[in-house]
Structure 1
């Protein structure tokens, strides 16, 4: 006989993982999953270009926590309860093997996000999860007996013994109003993981060109990242840019996304070391034209662009390069300035920094410190990671902790 009910608000990675694990760990528990849209697991579907970047092959918790611009101490405590090896094992136990790529990102061996979705849906069927679509939670009310009333659109009310809020990040602070009514405070949401817009900059003509390793700094700040960089038709993207946007989420918003990015296309050099190496290059290349002899391994289209942007005719021989143009080319190679005016976010993969203030949540249970039997999972909390599987690991970890905490209480009854 069912004698307890858990209502989970949000059908994304964190909410779904919480729901299926709670239903499995406590068979007497009725688990109701509410999703406000018509799609389940939509970020899982599009993550990693449709391959689903499930987690990151971190060598340990200390390495992992450094990839969260917000919430490091919080996730450090949480990861002691459910970490990367647990995620790998959980999916392996259900027939889904993961593989590790050179940069540490982990994907299903099928390279298809549907593999992860199908696995989770099978769990939902197996443990008789009640899933209701187009059901948005609009309010919560704590009853005198300790249970909850969950208010939905069109006046519907659900009774619940436990509530888990896994509604994702909200772009606007006012969307958190229904959670603030429970007494919780909100760290103002700002966008994270966005690309840099460089309208009308000639480099956008190189859209599709990617550089395996570049260093990007934001002038006037301490923000700096290194990694793959992708030139797009609107500006720049790729892991180096996305990581920079995550660490600088609040600073860059304060600048209204108007700033100067300095790109070092050759991060193994600075201006001084490049100047030293240049003399040997000139001697070695001698009478060869610059356009055909690119000694740095840069994409050819980018190399030609840098020559043109510096004002060097492509046929110029290395030995004939005037000092003024040589100095300008070196500067463009290691500290080229790009004015940024605005950002672009991918709606489906949108990540927000901000959310429920972490001091109001117990990291080892994910339970509200203000309202017993109210739990949080995933991005609704003020935790966000850089790109590379870190946000999903936080989703699996927080979802699992909620499920195991509630299951433990069900067994006590």
Structure 2
């Protein structure tokens, strides 16, 4: 039996952040991390295409919480304690400077996730945080005020335990056995599978400012849209997938979307095209790209409107004008399935938020049991927000544990 003051279950972002902060705030506590695999911080490594999207340049708590489909209300208080600016300061104090990109995402200036990993490993060593690799947790019990944890290799005990295991169904079952309730997980960040003649030959094309709606729902998002070999991706789709995670799962990921490629009303677009019919009478519609759309996308939407490559603006009839307007402002696509967004698999689901005290991230049901990160039913849109939840939860839990 190995006894430690604090056991952190999970060697990911939230676990390391909590462990380092506990050990720094109270050096007398013996802190250990149990990692089920042979490597720690695997998700940090692949985040942001290997650059690690540490957080997002959103500095007002009431605005920051709007990026969390699950956890918006609960995180408002915690973000007043520790949020984006605090994250930047924390890393800079440890020699890691972050930079803000045009879209608000924040990365280490090195553009390498290894910088973040090295920072955590160095800090863990500095504060004598032990890391036990290949220790998959088999059971978790509380007996006589001590947590008893059995792993694939050893038995541990601790007075305080923090769960930072991310989306882990086996851990959720152990927590259910202890008396917690768990919302069943469904994918949260994913791309849409779409087979359609309008997009099959133009992968890589990006429409910068679109509006996407899920037909027969209130789900709607806006932003860049990327056409891929399998369908649609980029922020407009990922935001929709996050906020629609539960609804889209119920539909078995088979539904229709309406895409407004130019963010104009049908009537305004029609008037614009009528003006072009007059002003560009002798030019061909096919070669007269409008609304700052990518050329290849414009070509496909023109052809889909029943307008061939030789048709001049002057020769457009009413039906063709309206068809093109419809393709531009209310194009319908059938979605049939989803694909994981890169390696950044995020789920909606986890420990019921009503069972957590968000002033400390401690369980309301089991004294001295704490949580941080995606083990809770909290998830966010893409852009560094899931990491910010991990940093905030890890920091506040550490503060409570270290007292």
CA offset at residue 76 of structure 1?
Answer: 0.7
User: What is residue 370 of structure 1 aligned with on the other side?
Assistant: 365
From 186, 205, 211, the equivalent of 1:215 is 211
1:379 paired with 2:374, answer yes
State how 1:29-68 maps to structure 2 within 5 Å. Answer: 29-68=29-68
User: What is residue 186 of structure 1 aligned with on the other side?
Assistant: 182
Go from structure 1 to structure 2 and tell me whether the alpha carbon gap of 1:200 and 1:329 turns closer, same or farther (over 3 Å shift). Answer: closer
In structure 2, distance between residues paired with 1:103 and 1:329: 31
User: What is residue 147 of structure 1 aligned with on the other side?
Assistant: 146
Secondary structure at 1:364's aligned position in 2?
coil
User: What is residue 111 of structure 1 aligned with on the other side?
Assistant: 111
Go from structure 1 to structure 2 and tell me whether the alpha carbon gap of 1:30 and 1:204 turns closer, same or farther (over 3 Å shift). Answer: farther
Give the alignment's TM-score, normalised by structure 2.
Answer: 0.96
CA offset at residue 347 of structure 1?
Answer: 6.8
**CA deviation map 1:145-182 (0-9, x unaligned):** x111111125x210111111011013x5x662111111
**CA deviation map 1:279-310 (0-9, x unaligned):** 22222222111222212111111111112222
1:264 paired with 2:260, answer yes
Secondary structure at 2:348's aligned position in 1?
strand
In structure 1, distance between residues paired with 2:347 and 2:58: 23
User: What is residue 71 of structure 1 aligned with on the other side?
Assistant: 71
Go from structure 1 to structure 2 and tell me whether the alpha carbon gap of 1:371 and 1:228 turns closer, same or farther (over 3 Å shift). Answer: same
User: What is residue 221 of structure 2 aligned with on the other side?
Assistant: 225
Give the alignment's TM-score, normalised by structure 1.
Answer: 0.94
**CA deviation map 1:53-88 (0-9, x unaligned):** 111111300101111101112111111211111001
CA offset at residue 95 of structure 1?
Answer: 1.4
From 158, 172, 183, the equivalent of 2:156 is 158
User: What is residue 124 of structure 2 aligned with on the other side?
Assistant: 124
Secondary structure at 1:203's aligned position in 2?
coil
User: What is residue 343 of structure 2 aligned with on the other side?
Assistant: 348
In structure 1, distance between residues paired with 2:173 and 2:204: 41
Secondary structure at 2:381's aligned position in 1?
coil
**CA deviation map 1:199-232 (0-9, x unaligned):** 4655132111111111100001000000111111
How many equivalent residue pairs? 402
User: What is residue 241 of structure 2 aligned with on the other side?
Assistant: 245
**CA deviation map 1:113-157 (0-9, x unaligned):** 22211111111121122111221112211121x111111125x21
Secondary structure at 2:201's aligned position in 1?
helix
**CA deviation map 1:253-289 (0-9, x unaligned):** 111111001111101x110111122222222222111
Q: Is the 8 A contact 1:99 1:107 kept in 2?
A: yes
Q: Is the 8 A contact 1:184 1:356 kept in 2?
A: yes
User: What is residue 399 of structure 1 aligned with on the other side?
Assistant: 394
In structure 1, distance between residues paired with 2:165 and 2:333: 37
CA offset at residue 40 of structure 1?
Answer: 1.5
Go from structure 1 to structure 2 and tell me whether the alpha carbon gap of 1:347 and 1:5 turns closer, same or farther (over 3 Å shift). Answer: farther
CA offset at residue 407 of structure 1?
Answer: 1.0
State how 1:300-339 maps to structure 2 within 5 Å. Answer: 300-339=295-334
**Could you tell which deviates more after superposition, 232-241 or 16-25?**
16-25
In structure 2, distance between residues paired with 1:356 and 1:80: 22
Q: Is the 8 A contact 2:4 2:156 kept in 1?
A: no
Go from structure 1 to structure 2 and tell me whether the alpha carbon gap of 1:175 and 1:346 turns closer, same or farther (over 3 Å shift). Answer: farther
Go from structure 1 to structure 2 and tell me whether the alpha carbon gap of 1:308 and 1:347 turns closer, same or farther (over 3 Å shift). Answer: closer
Q: Is the 8 A contact 1:81 1:364 kept in 2?
A: no
**CA deviation map 1:360-403 (0-9, x unaligned):** 11101111111111100100001111111111100000011111
CA offset at residue 311 of structure 1?
Answer: 2.3
Q: Is the 8 A contact 1:42 1:348 kept in 2?
A: no
CA offset at residue 315 of structure 1?
Answer: 2.1
Go from structure 1 to structure 2 and tell me whether the alpha carbon gap of 1:281 and 1:351 turns closer, same or farther (over 3 Å shift). Answer: same
**Could you tell which deviates more after superposition, 250-259 or 44-53?**
44-53
In structure 2, distance between residues paired with 1:39 and 1:354: 25
Secondary structure at 1:378's aligned position in 2?
coil
1:88 paired with 2:91, answer no
**CA deviation map 1:317-374 (0-9, x unaligned):** 1222222112111100011010001111147311011100011111011111111111
In structure 2, distance between residues paired with 1:346 and 1:225: 17
Let me know the Cα RMSD of the aligned residues.
1.6
Secondary structure at 1:80's aligned position in 2?
helix
Q: Is the 8 A contact 2:165 2:171 kept in 1?
A: no
CA offset at residue 4 of structure 1?
Answer: 5.4
